[in-house]
Amino acid sequence: MKKILVTGALGQIGSELTVKLREIYGNDHVIATDIKINDTSEAATSGPYEILDVNDGKAMVALAKKYKVDTVMHLAALLSATAEAKPVFAWNLNMGGLMNALETAREVGAQFFTPSSIGAFGPSTPKEDTPQDTIMRPTTMYGVNKVAGELLADYYFHKFGVDTRGVRFPGLISYVAPPGGGTTDYAVEIYYEAIKNKKYASYIDKGTYMDMMYMPDALNAIISLMEADAATLVHRNAFNVTAMSFDPEEIAAEIKKHIPEFELSYDVDPVRQAIADSWPNSIDASAAKEEWGFKVKYDLAAMTKNMLEKLSRKL
């Protein structure tokens, strides 16, 4: 990777990935794009920033040619809970944007990355140690988008030779970007509320296990996969990755080690709970470990300590 175009650069992943890529490859070598105007975040101000609607394929190609990019990282998407509330809009944005990004990579001969999600799995998927290759029949629009996206990325590799790569992310936890409409966002909100109010009402019910990952590990996974030797990649797209699996009570217990007065209660959201219930409890990331050396640094204890330290300073 030498010249990288990032779509959705001001979103949950992009806001941190853009900054990290610039630290590694140089500020001028990472072109951030998003639909936000006059943004003052580090991702928008530390290097080239262009306004881009990912549904405008011609504009995306034009930017890729203007900056002579050799890598496209397509992150722009509507997340799970928001997509369920706006399914037609989600399809148009998630699938239309992805098609435009893949076409851009094909036209300029660029390497390509886009993330999939554990949302690609469904109620009939094995819930424990979910295999890399398994049945995928999601019951949400977001999940349908992700399965279709995985297949589309594979198609562009086999049909056109585009070097497409991707991972299936679990819930991502970060102190930088605020929650953005995902089902796993409770695991971000809980830290904010623990610091601000010493209590949190979880919209996900007790005993609900979901896979999670701390953002620094997620960013390293993206870069490691993109830098990996293509000859070692058997699956190429949509590698299972994970760092931990916990329920609301376990994350609350870890927080109480640092904030003893913290109290957890429940105000379950039926829509997001139904989405969570359709996802695995834990997934098997052995293919990513074997094919490109995937590894993580943070478990629940280390993540909680770091999150509370960083958010305390931020808030």
The three state secondary structure string of the chain is: CCCEEEECCCCCCHHHHHHHHHHHHCHHHEEEEECCCCCCCHHHHCCCEEECCCCCHHHHHHHHHHCCCCEEEECCCCCHHHHHHCHHHHHHHHHHHHHHHHHHHHHHCCEEECCEEHHHCCCCCCCCCECCCCCCCCCCHHHHHHHHHHHHHHHHHHHHCCCEECEEECEEECCCCCCCCCHHHHHHHHHHHHHHCCEEEECCCCCCCEEEEEHHHHHHHHHHHHHCCHHHCCCCCCEECCCEEECHHHHHHHHHCCCCCCEEEECCCHHHHHHHHCCCCCECCHHHHHHHCCCCCCCHHHHHHHHHHHHHHHC
Percent of the chain, pLDDT > 90? 91
In the predicted model, what is the mean pLDDT of residues 89-98?
97
In the predicted model, what is the mean pLDDT of residues 242-266?
97
Q: Using pLDDT thresholds of 50, 70 and 90, give the confidence band for residue 116.
A: very high
Percent of the chain, pLDDT > 70? 100
Q: Using pLDDT thresholds of 50, 70 and 90, give the confidence band for residue 92.
A: very high
Pick left, alpha or beta for residue 250 (phi over 0 → left; psi -120 to 50 → alpha; otherwise beta). Answer: alpha
Domains along the sequence of the chain with CATH:
4-169+216-240 (3.40.50.720), 171-212+243-314 (3.90.25)
pLDDT confidence of residue 253: 98
pLDDT confidence of residue 79: 85
Q: Using pLDDT thresholds of 50, 70 and 90, give the confidence band for residue 182.
A: confident
Query: Is the model's pLDDT at 179 over the cut of 80?
Result: no
pLDDT confidence of residue 17: 98
Q: Active-site residue among 67, 142, 156, 298?
A: 142
Q: Using pLDDT thresholds of 50, 70 and 90, give the confidence band for residue 59.
A: very high
pLDDT confidence of residue 111: 98
pLDDT confidence of residue 315: 85
Query: Is the model's pLDDT at 175 over the cut of 80?
Result: yes
CA-CA-CA-CA torsion for 166, 172, 178, 181, nearest 10 degrees?
80
pLDDT confidence of residue 88: 97
pLDDT confidence of residue 80: 84
pLDDT confidence of residue 90: 96
In the predicted model, what is the mean pLDDT of residues 152-181?
92
Is 49 catalytic? The answer is no
pLDDT confidence of residue 238: 94
